[in-house]
Structure 1
Amino acid sequence: MKYIFLLYCLVFSVSGFGQKSKIDFKNIEKNLKDPKSPYNYEKLIFKFKGLPKSLDSIEAQHLYYGRNFRDIVSTEDESFKNLAEAFKNKDWDNSISLGKALYYKDPTNLDVLLILLRSYDAKQDVNNFVHHLSQFRLLTDAIRSSGDGKTEKTAYNVNSMGDEYILLNMMNIGLDYTRSSKELKDGILDAWEKENNKIYIKVLYLGINIKN
């Protein structure tokens, strides 16, 4: 496998996801905590880990944006820093070992999933690569369904700056774009501009609980 193939798959998946739907964060929080709801977190995460392709766009939205209402792994956590260091050094075996441990704690973490994808790609582990690619696509499709990025009101919504840069890379938006930002009561609105092309991305701040 080649990493360029991974990027092609991700871009193709994101650009092909056309449905846009308004996000009801309060409803997502309520559903995830309700054991009787079909969108209860334990029910969704069970499907996500086992059969990610069986989840629909609403379920994906609950899993991705529901991270704002759960304990998650921080990039400042020592265990994540160790994972990043192993990945930087191309220590694929250690990257997989450390990545699997963090995946167990925080299975919808895009940073962790992307590192696992790169590591399994390097090890030519097709089965694990394809499985995690399905999970990654599901979550990034949820981001793309949040808006079209063409106006402030229809900005893409992401949970973190790290997720914002993942989305930018998938959309082939790089250093030749200029960024301007403004603070909102529930996040930061970034505008990325190059000539006549302008993309809006909102980085949410909804009182995330970080597990260290």
Structure 2
Amino acid sequence: MIKKIILLIVILFSAKITAQEEAFQIPDYKAIEKEIQDKNSPNYYPKLMERLVKNDTLLTAENYKHLYLGYVFQPEYNAFWTSKNEKKLRELYGKEKLETADYDKIIELINSTLKEFPFDLNPINYLAYVYHLKGDEGMAKSLSFKFHSIMNTILSSGDGKTCETGFHVLLVDHEYTLLSFFELEPKGQSLVGKCDYLKFEKGKYKVDGIYFNIEKMLENETKAFKK
């Protein structure tokens, strides 16, 4: 069901992820932190977050870089966050066909989830799908724009070929969302230094695996244990 939704949203938005074809930039977290704390900056975090919550489609790639990567400096960031609505949403994700009566319930659950964590990728994608079913193409496209922009931010943070150039993510769940988007099936996961390494079946794809940088997740975990 989720794969069908992803393919539909790609068609809806007609967006193409090009970050893999362009030069990536390893995040400079010190510069990002300074920028999002500057009240005179176009990337001042409170202002950016207000626009994100409103599904502002005028947010730029640079804005999204500061939003997504800058979230690690927010006090509410929890690298091991899970939604209280996860069980209910999984049941709805598993349905072969949604009933009209399901739409408003799904919207309510996902909006509640996004208030807790505004970068929960699968719910954002699913919400776009539900609005499409409701006939609200404007909302579907703005949410699809958000989903693709976050994905592009992850993809522009590295190339995944080595730990040093691993893709930067806020949650482990984002690793699997990215692989699912490209229809890549991992066969194993291991911790390599400050990276998650997701291994593929030998010879099935052009690469044997992909590295995800989880340095900020590990730092967040350490802080949580010290509290």
Counterpart pick for 1:158 among 133, 148, 169: 169
Question: Contact (CA 8 Å) 1:11, 1:171: kept in 2 or not?
Answer: no
Superposed CA RMSD in Å reads 3.1
* 1:53-202 superposed matches below 5 A: 53-70=57-74, 71-72=76-77, 76-89=82-95, 90=98, 91-174=102-185, 177-184=186-193, 186-195=194-203, 197-198=206-207, 199-202=209-212
Query: Is residue 39 from structure 1 mapped to residue 50 from structure 2 by the alignment?
Result: no
CA shift digits 1:87-124 (9 cap, x unpaired): 44543321111112232343332133122123223333
Question: Contact (CA 8 Å) 2:161, 2:211: kept in 1 or not?
Answer: no
Q: Secondary structure at the match of 1:96?
A: helix
Question: Alpha carbons of 1:103 and 1:142: their partners in 2 closer, same or farther (altered >3 Å)?
Answer: same
Matched residue type, 1:99: I
- Within 2, Cα distance between the matches of 1:154 and 1:27? 18
Question: Contact (CA 8 Å) 1:164, 1:201: kept in 2 or not?
Answer: no
Question: Alpha carbons of 1:77 and 1:136: their partners in 2 closer, same or farther (altered >3 Å)?
Answer: closer
Question: Contact (CA 8 Å) 2:12, 2:141: kept in 1 or not?
Answer: no
Question: Contact (CA 8 Å) 2:13, 2:141: kept in 1 or not?
Answer: no
Structure-1-length-normalised TM-score: 0.79
Query: Is residue 23 from structure 1 mapped to residue 33 from structure 2 by the alignment?
Result: no
Matched residue type, 1:183: V
Question: Contact (CA 8 Å) 2:36, 2:70: kept in 1 or not?
Answer: yes
Question: Alpha carbons of 1:187 and 1:84: their partners in 2 closer, same or farther (altered >3 Å)?
Answer: same
Question: Alpha carbons of 1:99 and 1:51: their partners in 2 closer, same or farther (altered >3 Å)?
Answer: closer
- Within 1, Cα distance between the matches of 2:26 and 2:87? 35
CA shift digits 1:53-105 (9 cap, x unpaired): 32232221111122223315865342343343444454332111111223234
Question: Alpha carbons of 1:23 and 1:16: their partners in 2 closer, same or farther (altered >3 Å)?
Answer: closer
- Higher share in strand: 1
| Deviation, structure 1 residue 170 | 1.4
How many residues were matched structurally? Answer: 206
How many percent identity over aligned positions? 24
Q: Secondary structure at the match of 2:57?
A: helix
Question: Contact (CA 8 Å) 1:69, 1:207: kept in 2 or not?
Answer: no
Question: Contact (CA 8 Å) 2:158, 2:168: kept in 1 or not?
Answer: yes
- Within 1, Cα distance between the matches of 2:14 and 2:176? 14
- Within 2, Cα distance between the matches of 1:20 and 1:187? 17
- Within 2, Cα distance between the matches of 1:134 and 1:164? 19
Matched residue type, 1:202: F
- Within 2, Cα distance between the matches of 1:80 and 1:166? 15
Structure-2-length-normalised TM-score: 0.74
